[in-house]
Structure 1
Amino acid sequence: MLNKIQQRNSDIYSMTPFNFFEDFRRNLFNDLKSNLIKTDIHETDNEYVVEAELPGIPKEDIQVNYENGVLTISGQRQIDAAIEDEKGKLIHSERSLTSVRRQYLLENVKEDEIKASYSDGILKVTLPKDSNKEIKTSIPIE
């Protein structure tokens, strides 16, 4: 990316609107994809199991909520922009703050028995099903 920026800045007259918008589109959609929580949801007769990738996000910065049949997973990762190491002071960073959030509709759950664990960047949420709740499968039309 840095090479492209330097190349364009050195020859700004050769830049076309097509190149500008193509780069804009590519960067926009790559950013959107990178902020999605990649998730697997398994259903058995007794429970739902949600496994969500949250790499690099500390356990303390992850929130899991369940309300009105909706499971919400959110997290935030912050990287200190004033980093200095043996290579020198960081002068440009595009990774300073990342927030992610997703919601999943998982109804008929025993809310007081939901469990969550986090290991190696994977959040696992187990939601036991409530077999006592009635599930309507069809609605008569009057």
Structure 2
Amino acid sequence: MPSDTNPQALTSFPPAPFFDLFDGIDLFAPFFDLRSLKTTSRESHRNTMSKDIERTEGGYVLEAEMAGIPKENVTVEVKDGHLQISGRRKREEEREGEKVYSRSDFYQSVKLPKDVEEGSVKASYTDGLLKVEMNRKDESEKTKRITIQMGIS
């Protein structure tokens, strides 16, 4: 080896492990931190509400399946730009001479698109299917032209 070679140039550095990139991230937190679920949904796995949202020519339509829940136990509200759907299922059955009662609640919140006219939201419920219709705002409502007046000094 030549003596004029810089000794630091030949110093080996241990490679940084690839997983050091993820040290500050807890990849399993969403699975174990139940507080994050409360912001959008409170339900058990048996009470999951299947829903579809479709954009139509004049607005949006949300359809949610809620079989076995009477209309009187379903609530639909619009609050702070969110569509909130909640319901309660009650069961009473008799097993071996005993009455068994069960109750389950669910809640889901869906953020509305900015172009939804909140006052136009309508809901109907038929045979366990909730249908929520929402109109889009008129294009002319999105932009407001300001008239410039002559200033008097």
Q: Which one has the bigger helix percentage?
A: 1
Mark yes or no: TM-score above 0.5. Answer: yes
- Choose which of 52, 64, 74 in structure 1 pairs with 2:86: 74
Query: What one-letter code is carried by the residue in structure 1 that aligns with 2:110?
Result: Y
Task: State the Cα distance separating 1:62 from its structure 2 match.
Answer: 0.4
Measure the CA separation in 1 of the matches of 2:131 and 2:96: 39
Instruction: Extract unaligned runs of 5+ from structure 1.
Output: 1-30, 135-142
8 Å CA contact 2:44, 2:106 repeated in 1: no
Measure the CA separation in 2 of the matches of 1:77 and 1:133: 41
Corresponding position of 1:130: 137
Task: State the Cα distance separating 1:106 from its structure 2 match.
Answer: 1.3
Corresponding position of 2:62: 50
Instruction: Extract unaligned runs of 5+ from structure 2.
Output: 1-42, 144-153
Measure the CA separation in 1 of the matches of 2:98 and 2:136: 49
Task: State the Cα distance separating 1:66 from its structure 2 match.
Answer: 0.8
Corresponding position of 2:108: 102
Query: What one-letter code is carried by the residue in structure 1 that aligns with 2:111?
Result: L
> Which is greater in Rg?
2
TM-score, with length taken from structure 2: 0.57
Query: What one-letter code is carried by the residue in structure 1 that aligns with 2:89?
Result: R
1:1-142 paired onto structure 2 within 5 Å: 32-80=44-92, 83-84=93-94, 88-90=96-98, 93=100, 96-107=102-113, 108-131=115-138, 132-133=141-142
Identity percentage of aligned residues: 37
Q: Name the count of aligned residue pairs.
A: 98
Give the alignment's Cα RMSD to 1 decimal. 2.1
8 Å CA contact 1:62, 1:76 repeated in 2: yes
